[in-house]
């Protein structure tokens, strides 16, 4: 059973389709990184997943049940757009409010536990408006965590954080996922950071889900390769295939891509000894950001 499953999910605002027939699958126990440019439909999709926005068409199922069911809602914690906090109330009071909202039996105990989990115990009595951005984000996650949900839906929770804050948040997410088995559906623009924690990715562009891929598949796709610039690519390709038996050797606009061989010297010597002049050769390492850009057809990230 998947934590989230959408079927042809769409949302239109007038003539504009914000989300267009998305079939999203978030496996149970995963950290699902949801990636897309600004205005690509990430937040709208996440809102529909939480029941905060009505789909124009299509369905959302959480743990195999429609999102409209009350028992399903009780298993979801959300942090959408910004930490939902009352600025004039203390961190503890904000957690108490969420505890009362969800009707847990001992909200005081849970509030204290949640503060400990996000390392905000010392700021318990500080008003939310006095907290730093990083502390507010952590408090927002703690609010979402009240009642021990099975699924967390987080919309750009690490935006605006300093490096220290990002590391702390990463620790929180890893603890929640590994120690408590919570599925996390997270959107972020900070792809480098997302690639450290995500087990699955979904890439959305102009309202359409253009790719769903697991971290293992991505690692396989984005494995290192040698990029070689030579004049006669056909000849070089045949020679490399014949003499070095790479796992893959293909011709692209930017040169030859040779997989399975990581020593550029070996290739260089081979080509040189066969009279093929090498203009450029280097080991290319593709990361999530590059993969994202390649899917987007270039341009800037978010």
Partner 1 sequence: MLNIFKLDMYRILRSKMFYICIIAMNLVSGTMIFFGVIPSFSAVMGSGATDMTGSMMGIGMAFMIIGIFFALFICGEFTTGFAKNIFARHSNPIHYIVGKLLSLTVTGAVFIIVFSLVAMLLLVVTGSGVVLPGGVLGLITFFIEKIFVCAAFASLILLACVFTRKSAVGVVVGVIAAMGVLPMVLGIAGNYFGLTWISDILQYTISGLSSTANLVFSGSAFATVIIGGLIWTAVCTVLGCRAAKLKDI
> Which residues here bind partner 1, judged by CB under 8 A?
47, 50-54, 67-70, 72-74, 76, 78, 80-89, 93, 96-98, 100-103, 143-144
CA dist 295 and 19 (Å) reads 18
User: Nearest approach, Cβ of 164 to partner 1 (angstroms)?
Assistant: 25
Task: Provide the token pair at 86.
Answer: 């009352």
Choose between 69 and 263: whose C-beta lies nearer to partner 1. Answer: 69
CA dist 194 and 292 (Å) reads 12
CA dist 175 and 152 (Å) reads 13
CB 66 within 8 A of CB 9: no
User: Nearest approach, Cβ of 102 to partner 1 (angstroms)?
Assistant: 5
User: Nearest approach, Cβ of 157 to partner 1 (angstroms)?
Assistant: 13
Choose between 48 and 256: whose C-beta lies nearer to partner 1. Answer: 48
User: Nearest approach, Cβ of 103 to partner 1 (angstroms)?
Assistant: 4
**Locate tokens 């590059």: which residue?**
290
Choose between 38 and 70: whose C-beta lies nearer to partner 1. Answer: 70
How many helices (H) and strands (E) the chain has is answered by 11, 15
User: Nearest approach, Cβ of 230 to partner 1 (angstroms)?
Assistant: 56
CA dist 262 and 49 (Å) reads 43
**Locate tokens 């598949």: which residue?**
217
CA dist 249 and 259 (Å) reads 6
User: Nearest approach, Cβ of 142 to partner 1 (angstroms)?
Assistant: 12
Task: Provide the token pair at 114.
Answer: 């949640």
Task: Provide the token pair at 122.
Answer: 């010392």
CB 174 within 8 A of CB 197: yes
Choose between 81 and 248: whose C-beta lies nearer to partner 1. Answer: 81
Choose between 39 and 171: whose C-beta lies nearer to partner 1. Answer: 39
User: Nearest approach, Cβ of 32 to partner 1 (angstroms)?
Assistant: 18
User: Nearest approach, Cβ of 25 to partner 1 (angstroms)?
Assistant: 21
Choose between 41 and 255: whose C-beta lies nearer to partner 1. Answer: 41
Identify the DSSP state of 127: B
Three-class DSSP category at 265: helix
Choose between 103 and 163: whose C-beta lies nearer to partner 1. Answer: 103
Compute the CA torsion angle 91, 96, 97, 103 (nearest 10 deg).
150
* Cβ neighbours, 10 Å, residue 23: 12
Choose between 73 and 170: whose C-beta lies nearer to partner 1. Answer: 73
């Amino acid at each position: 059973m998947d934590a989230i499953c959408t079927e042809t999910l769409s949302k239109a605002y007038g003539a504009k389709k914000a989300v267009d027939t998305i079939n999203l699958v978030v496996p149970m126990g995963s950290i699902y990184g949801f990636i897309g440019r600004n205005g690509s439909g990430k937040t709208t999709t996440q809102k529909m997943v939480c029941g905060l926005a009505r789909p124009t068409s299509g369905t959302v199922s959480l743990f195999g049940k429609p999102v409209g069911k009350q028992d399903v809602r009780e298993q979801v914690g959300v942090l959408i757009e910004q930490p939902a906090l009352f600025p004039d109330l203390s961190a503890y009071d904000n957690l108490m409010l969420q505890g009362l909202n969800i009707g847990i039996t001992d909200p005081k105990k849970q509030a204290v536990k949640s503060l400990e989990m996000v390392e905000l115990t010392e700021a318990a009595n500080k008003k939310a408006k006095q907290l730093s951005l990083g502390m507010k984000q952590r408090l927002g996650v703690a609010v979402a965590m009240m009642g021990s949900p099975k699924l967390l839906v987080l919309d750009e929770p690490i935006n605006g954080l300093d490096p220290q804050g990002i590391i702390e948040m990463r620790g929180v997410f890893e603890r929640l996922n590994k120690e408590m088995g919570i599925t996390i559906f997270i959107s972020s623009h900070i792809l480098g950071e997302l690639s450290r924690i995500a087990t699955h990715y979904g890439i959305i562009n102009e309202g359409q889900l253009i790719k769903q891929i697991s971290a293992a598949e991505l690692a396989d796709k984005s494995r290192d390769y040698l990029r070689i610039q030579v004049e006669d690519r056909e000849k070089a390709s045949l020679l490399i295939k014949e003499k070095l038996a790479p796992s893959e050797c293909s011709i692209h606009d930017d040169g030859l891509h040779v997989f399975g061989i990581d020593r550029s010297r070996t290739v260089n010597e081979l080509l040189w000894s066969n009279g093929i002049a090498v203009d450029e050769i280097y080991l290319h390492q593709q990361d999530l950001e590059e993969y994202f850009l390649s899917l987007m057809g270039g341009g800037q990230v978010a």
